[in-house]
Amino acid sequence: MLGLQTLVSRENDPFQPAVVTVGSIHGGTKHNIIPDEVHMQLTVRAFDEGVRQHLLRGIERVAKAEAEAAQAPKPPEVRVSDSTPVTSNDPALAARVRPALEKALGKDRVVDALPITTAEDFSQYAAAGVPTLMLWLGAVDPETLARAHAAGTPLPGLHSSAWSPDVARAIPTGVDALVAAALELFGPPAP
């Protein structure tokens, strides 16, 4: 498992962010019995599809080399499942929608977000040739956000059980943002 981390630390350009996470390991039935097989589940994330493909090939290479080094009776089976391509916004679509969002929400409330390495099936639309734009909605109470920034404390993420959105503000803001984007793209309703 540690050998997989070298794919990011030794083989990847440090200016091309990438993540390989071993998130699940299942093997054996008792502490003193060597299991016949072990199942591992990994997450692979990158901003660049070429980097992602390099990591996937490297995982298979490392797994087979580790098995051979341990004289495993058979080579490991490496399967890619639940795979999603890199999620990227279409620059022309983002440039078109941004002024509408700024007009609807206020310029100071529309900011560029830093890229993050999330696994997101939304990318399948872009892979099919559909121009895509993923928006992030700030959903934390402004006072809570200010306190967290002042203290340098990270806030819980979207998939955390501790995530607590300010629903009274987030839902109307999200609706306003989506309506503004739709009107920009599809035009105002007919009278």
Q: Which residue ranges make up each domain of the chain?
A: 2-69, 91-186
Rounded distance between C-alpha atoms, residue 191 and residue 189, angstroms: 6
- Residues 88-122 have pLDDT tens digits of 899 999 999 999 999 999 999 999 988 877 767 88
CA distances, 167 to each of 66, 101, 140, 178 (Å): 49, 20, 9, 16
- Residues 24-71 have pLDDT tens digits of 999 999 999 989 889 999 989 888 889 999 999 999 999 999 999 999
- Residues 155-175 have pLDDT tens digits of 998 878 888 899 999 999 999
The answer to whether 61 touches 68, Cβ cutoff 8 Å, is: no
Rounded distance between C-alpha atoms, residue 129 and residue 126, angstroms: 5
Question: Which run of H or of E encompasses 25?
Answer: strand 18-27
The total of other beta-carbon atoms located within 10 Å of residue 87's CB is: 22
Pick the CATH number of 2-69 from 3.40.190.10, 3.40.50.720, 2.60.40.10, 3.30.70.360: 3.30.70.360
Q: What is the pTM of this model?
A: 0.71
Lowest mean pLDDT among 54-58, 70-74, 82-86, 183-187: 82-86
Residues 6+ apart with CB under 8 A from 34: 28
